[in-house]
Amino acid sequence: MTLKELALEIGCSRATLDRVINNREGVGEERRKEILKQIEERGYRPNVVGKMLAIQHRTVIGVILCADITPVENPLFHEIYAGMLKAVEILEKTGVSFMFRHIKSGKASEQITVINELVEVYRVSGIAISLEEKSEDLFETIRVHMNNGVKFISYFNINGAQNTEFQFPYEIGINQKREGNVAAGLMGKFLRGKGKVALLSGLEKNLVHQIRIDSAKEHLEQAYPGIRVVEVGRNTYPEDIAMAKVEKLLEDYPDLDGIIVSCGSAGYIVEMVQKLQKKDQLSIIAFDFTRQMEKDLRLGYFDALIGVNLERLGYTTIYAIYDYVFQNEITDDTLYVALQIKLKETVTPL
């Protein structure tokens, strides 16, 4: 009997049954007890769950972390990793092991080396990866291992992972195109459809930043003809370059009305804006809910932040690759991580 068939027989959703079997949050205590009782009555545990537990005792799952070059006081993947560890702590009690590897350079060749090590040395059954530099050799490496039965999912940068000839079976993460569109729409409302706006991104090799900024530019030009994008600044990183670029930007456009920034140096950008006493005239929108970014939002340095709960993203990623390895599928609600907008008024006070 499959999980889908069992859920139909019990009278609950496939997702609810999955949460109960894997001891996840989201199901009330009484409902959980009722479902467990019905599972036991049908003899499901010894036939299926017991088999799953036996398999888990010889299963290793690989997780590849990006090369996070954001400033040490504003680490992005630290938040994602924290969420991953919470999920790992729960799932390792079933006997499955997780093997973490941290990419240092972000080069496609390094990613290939790490993937091959996980598969050939540690014999992993699945890998969760957030792709950085792409290459046909990298996609071919993943494709070969997938054909040999290794399960792969992509997390975090789902737009940047796309390739015309290669698609991951499952993607968990942030839709940067949508984030850029939301930022543009929010800026349009802040400025009431009129004004001058600059778009600033981090390193060009980081597709997360580029996709956000490119989609914001496209949406502003299409939806807000009264708003003029006066500059699209790339490679606004590290801090000295970021601060110098913003100083020059405000010198060239003293009547600038808004800035949309996707960059690890966003904090230094608003620091320069404050130094030049320009914050009162500018609406500034940024991305990612790191602790430092939320602190700056509370202080009024940003007008809005757009992103997802990064810790939740990490937690969801671990459960997703776990489900894919052991059940050969991932439920839609497991794949979903809600996009949010945060304002100064919505975050916890200092």
pLDDT at 142: 96
Asked if residues 321 and 90 have their Cβ atoms less than 8 Å apart, the reply is: no
Q: Each residue's pLDDT tens digit in the chain (350 positions)?
A: 677 788 888 888 877 887 787 666 678 878 888 888 888 777 765 344 554 455 445 799 999 998 765 555 556 788 899 999 999 999 988 889 999 998 888 889 999 999 999 999 999 999 999 888 888 999 999 999 999 999 999 998 765 545 556 788 888 877 889 999 999 999 999 999 999 999 999 988 788 899 999 999 999 999 999 999 999 999 998 889 999 999 999 999 999 999 999 998 899 999 999 999 999 999 999 999 988 899 999 999 999 999 999 999 999 999 999 999 998 888 765 576 889 999 988 886 65
pLDDT for the residue numbered 304? 98
Check: pTM over 0.75? Answer yes or no. Answer: yes
The predicted structure's pLDDT at residue 333 = 59
Between CA 89 and CA 95 the distance in angstroms is 11
8 A C-beta contact, residue 4 and residue 14: yes
The whole-angstrom separation of Cα 109 and Cα 302 is: 38
Q: How is 69-86 classified by DSSP, letter by letter? A: -S-TTS-SHHHHHHHHHH
- Give the pLDDT of residue 51: 47
CA distance 44 to 142: 35
Q: Which of 270, 307, 327, 250 is nearest to 21 (CA)?
A: 327
Q: Is 81 left (phi over 0), alpha (psi -120 to 50) or beta?
A: alpha
- Nearest-10 Cα torsion for 305, 306, 310, 312: 120
In the prediction, which pLDDT does 46 show? 39
Give the Cα separation of 26 and 29 in Å (integer).
10
Rounded to whole angstroms, the Cα distance separating 350 from 298 reads 7
Q: What is the distance between the alpha carbons of residues 264 and 75, in angstroms, rounded to a whole number?
A: 8
Rg of the chain (C-alpha set):
23
Residue type for position 334: T
By percentage, how much of the chain surpasses pLDDT 90? 58
The reported pLDDT for the residue numbered 24 is 66
Q: What are phi and psi of 133, to 5 degrees?
A: -65, 135
